Structure formats: structure tokens, C-alpha cells
Structure 1
Amino acid sequence: MKQKYTITVADMELNIVSDASPDEVENIVGILDRRMRDINLHSPRCTKNEAAILCALSYCSERIAMQEAFKKVEKDAFRFAGENEKLKKTVESLQEEIDRLRKDAAVMQSILDRAAAVGMKEEAKAEAPARVKYVPKQFPDKQTAEGSDEPERAETSEAPTAAAEAPAVPAPAAAVPAVAQEKDDSVFVLDASRKDKRTGKKSSVGAMFDMLTYEDV
């Protein structure tokens, strides 16, 4: 809404009509008054009308300069907006590439972990010692001092080694029964000779100990 104002500029009183508020009018009048007084101060011969015209010319030139600067800033703003859109698209494409590379890295890491696990298992299997199995060795039954049979046991891991180191020589078929027969005769002779001096009976314990002693020797 337009209002009527009475202003004083450089000691000149004027009546004006403006849509501005009283504070804005007072601020504008103060700026104009200071500018005209400054012109009169530097040019004493200049009249108030000439000072007002010079002040108006000064404000017009400043306004034109500001318009030119505003146009330049506006062009720069449009240019920066276009570059900003391009940069946004570039950032999006780079983000997609980063996501793809992260997925590929995760897949490669999983493959490496699996390969490492398989390699560790293979190394563990290669470094693990061979299991040793114990199997009873076939010997003729012997009666121990306590009267119990104790078959000797040997490690299977040592038996193949001994067999590999010493080649087996086949023995004649008739030699084995002969040796067995000789052992049986010696046992009978020892049993017959070992008798208790007091009772005249056979001492089974002494004979067994003698038999074991002779066979072991």
C-alpha cells in the first residue's frame, strides 16, 4: 500500500509516495543525504541540484555493474548445476563399479579360504604318522609258569621292514617236522629226568621251568 512521506535530503524538504515501510524510507533517505553532502564537501561549487544528479548517476552506474555481475553469477550457477549433474552421474557409476568390485573380492576371498582349508587338510594328512596295527604272531602254544597261554604280539609296521631287509629263504618241507620232533623228544627227556627226589614223582613245575629255560636259551 502506497503511503505519503515527507523527507529531508541535503536540507531540502520533499514529499514522496512509496510502497516501502517507514524504516526502509528512512534508511534510503539517510544514504542519499550522506552521499550528497559528501559530493558538496569535495566540490564546494557544486549546487544541490547538481549534487543530486551526480548522486543519481553514481547509483545508476552501480546498479548496472551489479546487474552485469548478477548475470555472470547466474551463468556460472547454471554451468555449475550442469557440472554437478554430470558429477552425480559419475559418482553413481563409480559406486556401482565399487559394489561390483566388492562382490568380486568377496567371491575371490571365499575361493582363497576354501583353497587354504583344502591345503591345510592335505598337509595334515601328509604329516600324520602311519597307524600301527598290532596282530598276534603265530607261535606254538607254550605253557607259562602261571599256566596261561601268552601269544606274543608284534607290530605290523616292523614285520614288513624285517622281511624286506632279509630275503626269505624257503626251507625244506621235511626240516620243520624234524625240528619239531627233536624239540618234543628233548621235552620228554627233560620231563622223565626231572623227578622229585623225595617222592620219586615227576615235578611239573621244575620241569616246566627247565623246559622254558632250555627253549629260551
Structure 2
Amino acid sequence: MNRREALKAVSVIMGGTVISANTFLSGCSVEKDERVNSLFMESDVALLDEIGEAIIPTTDTPGAKAVGIGGFITMMVLDCYEPKHQNIFTQGLVSFKESFNKQYDHGFIKAKSEERIAFLTELDKAQRESSLKNKDNPDAVPHYFRMIKELTLLGYFTSEIGCTQVRRYVETPGRYEACIDYKAGDGAWAI
């Protein structure tokens, strides 16, 4: 083999390697959806972050996404909910994704703010009607969106951001003061 044939062979081999590498790497461009725990995937956490942000948006204070609300919700559902309620929550999340995709032809994460708010408003109306219908039944199954809202509020207002930037917080309170002046717009006191 002479030098010219060797270069041709190397270029064919290298060209094949580059093509194979590009083909292989293009297959890697699709993000893997890793499991976070036994009930939820990373995409579920991201979705719950976005839902939480729509419920408590960023204004002059950070929103729910800033506190990592999706991770908090998935931890609470896994660690604190009974299997019956875990199933309601996870099936509700699947229903949420399917309903939104069906109505808007894309996922909630890619949605515009107006689409998110319109969808969540309708979902909130449905959960309120469900709650009113079942208010006298202690064994009634809660609506999954009510669970999401409750966990979002709990997680946000018990987080460091919620306690120190949204509510008024005194790390080491001094003496007891029975009457404190309140001005309109003042935040509630953190625990």
C-alpha cells in the first residue's frame, strides 16, 4: 500500500466515523426523562414547576418555580400521601397533560401565559364544583388540582423565599407585642 491509498483508506474510515458519530449524537439530542422517585419523572417535576409558577407567578417577589415547587410536591406526594391519593394525583397529572395537549396541540411547558391561565381557571372551576358536590361526604375523593394548589401554597409559604421575601419574618422575635400597626399591603407574619 502506498501513501495515496493509505490516505484514501483513512479518509474513508474517518468519514465513516464522523457520519456514525453524527448519527449517534443526533440520537442523543432527545432528552432522556429520568425517574425522580418511584412515582415521578423529571418531566413531571418540570411540569409541576410551571403549574406552580402559573399559580404563584414571579412579580416583585420570586414565584413558585424559584423555590423548586415541583420537587417539593413530588416529595410530599411520595412521602406523605396514602397510595389511594398518590394514584389520584398521578392519574390527574396524566389527565392534565392529555387535556392540555388535546386543547392546545402542544404541552403546558411550551404554552403562552394566556393559554396556561385560561386552562388553569377552567380546571379550578371544575375542582371547586367537585368540592361543593362532595362537601358532605368525608370519604369523597379530592380533585387532583386541589391537591396541586394546596401543595403549591404549602411549599411556597414554608420555603425560605416565602417566609423571608414574601411574608414578614423575624428570626429571633423579641418581646410579645399584642398590638402592631398594620398598613395596607403589608405581608402576613411568617411563623
Query: TM-score with structure 1 length normalisation?
Result: 0.23
Compute the TM-score of the two structures, normalised by the length of structure 2: 0.26
Query: Relative contact order, CA 8 A, sep 6+: which one is greater?
Result: 2
Structure having the higher strand fraction is 1
